[in-house]
């Protein structure tokens, strides 16, 4: 679908169908209220009503706030994709909701059909947004930025949705190199021999039983005079069987999504480079496959991490934190960043705590939490803060090593996973670091908001919003 912003009145645009977003209050005063009432349309959130003979589509929205408009635009584009209309036009409601309209169309209309032999053909080709505002150039800037971020989110979704036989650590590195080439990014990839030289003992243990070599990927975007330096770290488990602590078979389905943190940081650096922000950004990815075999790491193993911290393995399905421990250490030693953010589908416990739709936010800096939460809210993504405390930290004690990779009690699992990572953050970086658990928000098997089946691209929109405002 082609989407464009035009400096025109809606009446001057030729389209097969025109769309109006109506609140319940606006419906009462609308010229078509009689026929809409006859059709049973009440302008409830996400409801739609076609008046085909008039070439009109009405979309209900509780308010003109961005979250409601985004959801209504999603319903609109999905209804139009099921029709035979080729072109559609609608007016920009206000500048503050323009990005939400773009996201509703692009993200709500997203499909991943690469594995279907005969994907359904979509008739809808052209989508026009109309506005004759005096500050059209400013509006166009907002539109262009929203388009870049939405497409970066779709890029992230595409990687998450790729099947594990196609996307393994080695092919993930190839994909990252292609992104670097297309977006003029620096790229450094460490294969297993390099990882051994770098003493990445925890990360190497997780991937030991896989036929695919583990990879550490480092992409860099370096503008001339950056205001800040940001490090983004992503968990890249291209597939997670659970290792010898084998997952139940039903739980293995969708485990291609365990690379969503890594996919998100690639989407973020893609967006930053295309927005041309004056911020230096480094994306670090630990790409690993956790499999079962004669060489698999085992419960009771003691691993030596890059930092020298020894780790008692009590569950091989708590593998993402082992990978991140080494990658976080490497990132801190490689780049002196003003902020360090890691993204990981780390714990099912985060979904228990916050639900499926919300990203867990953990760290020490209250200011950083506040700034990130505000950016997330502005972007339409949901975050919830989970508090660290010294009592949960005690649960990671090991009798034979420096730390255990799982807590001795099952409660507060998302927080204890975050506290494990905290062990590998240098003291001088404690207030610069934030951990995001996207286990619930990164993948969905039932549509919600502008998220369709599969990868959601969680993190890309809110981190882009945060970085834009630095």
The residues assigned a catalytic role are 247, 321
> How far apart are alpha carbons 358 and 362 in whole angstroms?
13
> How far apart are alpha carbons 411 and 33 in whole angstroms?
54
Sign of CA dihedral 158, 230, 200, 398: negative
Residue 295 exposed, middle or buried by CB count within 10 Å (0-12, 13-18, 19+): exposed
> How far apart are alpha carbons 89 and 19 in whole angstroms?
6
CB burial of 152-162 (b: ≥16 within 10 Å; e: otherwise) equals: bbbbbbbbbbb
Enclosing H/E stretch for 177: helix 169-182
Closest alpha carbon to 313 in 208, 194, 232: 208
At a CB cut-off of 8 Å and minimum separation 6, what does 267 contact? 152, 153, 155, 156, 159, 457, 459, 460
> How far apart are alpha carbons 315 and 312 in whole angstroms?
9
Q: Identify whether the C-beta of residue 442 lies closer than 8 Å to the C-beta of residue 345.
A: yes
Q: H/E/C letters for each residue in 140-162?
A: HHHHHHHHHHHHHHHHHHHHHHC
Q: Identify whether the C-beta of residue 459 lies closer than 8 Å to the C-beta of residue 381.
A: yes
Per the structure block, which two tokens stand in for 462?
A: 């809110």
How crowded is residue 280: how many other Cβ atoms within 10 Å of its Cβ? 21
Q: Identify whether the C-beta of residue 425 lies closer than 8 Å to the C-beta of residue 433.
A: yes
To 10 degrees, the CA torsion angle through 92, 96, 97, 102? 80
Per the structure block, which two tokens stand in for 371?
A: 């700034």
Per the structure block, which two tokens stand in for 264?
A: 């998100």
> How far apart are alpha carbons 71 and 55 in whole angstroms?
22
> How far apart are alpha carbons 309 and 401 in whole angstroms?
8
């Amino acid at each position: 679908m082609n989407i464009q912003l035009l400096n025109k009145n809606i009446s001057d645009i030729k389209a097969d169908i025109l769309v109006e977003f109506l609140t319940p209050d606006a419906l009462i005063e609308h010229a078509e209220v009689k026929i809409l009432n006859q059709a049973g349309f009440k302008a409830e959130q996400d409801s739609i009503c076609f008046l085909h003979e008039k070439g009109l589509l009405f979309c209900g929205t509780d308010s003109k706030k961005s979250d409601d408009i985004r959801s209504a635009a999603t319903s609109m584009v999905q209804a139009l994709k099921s029709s035979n209309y080729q072109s559609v036009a609608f007016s920009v409601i206000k500048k503050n909701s323009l990005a939400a309209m773009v996201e509703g169309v692009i993200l709500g209309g997203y499909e991943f059909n690469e594995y279907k032999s005969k994907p359904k053909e979509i008739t809808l080709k052209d989508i026009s947004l109309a506005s004759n505002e005096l500050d059209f150039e400013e509006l166009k800037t907002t539109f262009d930025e929203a388009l870049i971020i939405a497409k970066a989110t779709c890029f992230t979704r595409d990687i998450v949705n790729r099947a594990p036989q196609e996307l393994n650590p080695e092919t993930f590195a190839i994909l990252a190199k292609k992104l670097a080439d297309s977006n003029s990014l620096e790229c450094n990839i460490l294969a297993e021999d390099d990882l051994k030289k770098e003493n990445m003992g925890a990360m190497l243990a997780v991937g030991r039983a896989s036929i695919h070599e583990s990879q550490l990927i480092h992409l860099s975007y370096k503008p001339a005079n950056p205001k800040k330096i940001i490090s983004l770290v992503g968990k890249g488990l291209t597939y997670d069987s659970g290792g010898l602590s084998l997952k139940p078979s039903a739980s293995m389905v969708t485990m291609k999504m365990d690379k969503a943190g890594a996919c998100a940081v690639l989407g973020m650096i893609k967006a930053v480079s295309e927005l041309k922000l004056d911020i230096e950004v480094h994306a670090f990815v630990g790409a690993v496959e956790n499999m079962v075999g004669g060489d698999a790491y085992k419960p009771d193993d003691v691993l030596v991490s890059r930092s020298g911290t020894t780790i008692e393995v009590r569950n091989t399905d708590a593998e993402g934190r082992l990978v991140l421990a080494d990658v976080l250490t490497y990132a801190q030693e490689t780049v002196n960043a003003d902020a360090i953010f890691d993204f990981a589908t780390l714990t099912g416990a985060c979904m228990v705590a916050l639900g499926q739709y919300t990203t867990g936010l953990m760290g020490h800096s209250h200011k950083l939490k506040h700034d990130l939460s505000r950016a997330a809210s502005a972007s339409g993504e949901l975050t919830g803060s989970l508090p660290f405390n010294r009592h949960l930290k005690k649960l990671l004690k090991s009798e034979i090593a420096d730390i255990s990779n799982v807590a001795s009690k099952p409660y507060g699992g998302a927080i204890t996973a975050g506290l494990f990572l905290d062990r590998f953050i240098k003291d001088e970086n404690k207030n610069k670091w934030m951990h995001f658990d996207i286990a619930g928000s990164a993948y969905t098997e039932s549509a919600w908001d502008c998220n369709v089946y599969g990868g959601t691209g969680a993190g890309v929109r809110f981190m882009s919003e945060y970085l834009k405002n630095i």
